[in-house]
Amino acid sequence: MKLEHTAINVSDPVSMAEWYKDNLGMEIVKAMTDGPLTHFLRDSGGMMMLEIYKNPPDKIPDYKEMDPLILHFAFVSENPELDSLRLSAAGASIEDDLLLSDGSRLIMMKDPWGINIQLCKRTTPLLIGR
């Protein structure tokens, strides 16, 4: 089996989908204009999707207060430092910058809605075909 997508309940899926498209290179492959405003976003490699929606009966987690080790979306970055500066200019904030013992670089950020995103440049890539 292959993992198709991960889904989360967010406060503003329409704006968030646009920001992820414009700033993280994701493609909106399906967007609902009513109901929970569900949006499916595909990564640039076509390997994974993120589903975002606003489901009012269910609680939207307080992502801003959430530790990144509880939930984060990790993106492969060829240049995490430049990407983090570009994302900061677009409204994200830098939370942590790690250089691992194997030489991998991980920069943890929060998107404008407080959701943790990680920029990864690994010495040995974890995904096949990346």
pLDDT band at residue 56, thresholds of 50, 70 and 90? confident
pLDDT band at residue 125, thresholds of 50, 70 and 90? confident
Residue 60: strand, helix, or coil: coil
How high is the pLDDT of residue 87? 98
> What's the CATH code, domain 1-56?
3.30.720.120
Helix axes 80-89, 13-24, angle to 10 degrees: 140
Q: Is the pLDDT confidence value at 104 over 60?
A: yes
| The CATH homologous superfamily of the domain defined by 63-124 | 2,3-Dihydroxybiphenyl 1,2-Dioxygenase, domain 1 (3.10.180.10)
CB 22 within 8 A of CB 36: no
For the chain, give every residue range classified as CATH 3.30.720.120.
Answer: 1-56
Angstrom distances, CA of residue 34 to CA of 7, 70, 81: 18, 30, 38
For the chain, give every residue range classified as CATH 3.10.180.10.
Answer: 63-124
pTM beyond 0.85: yes
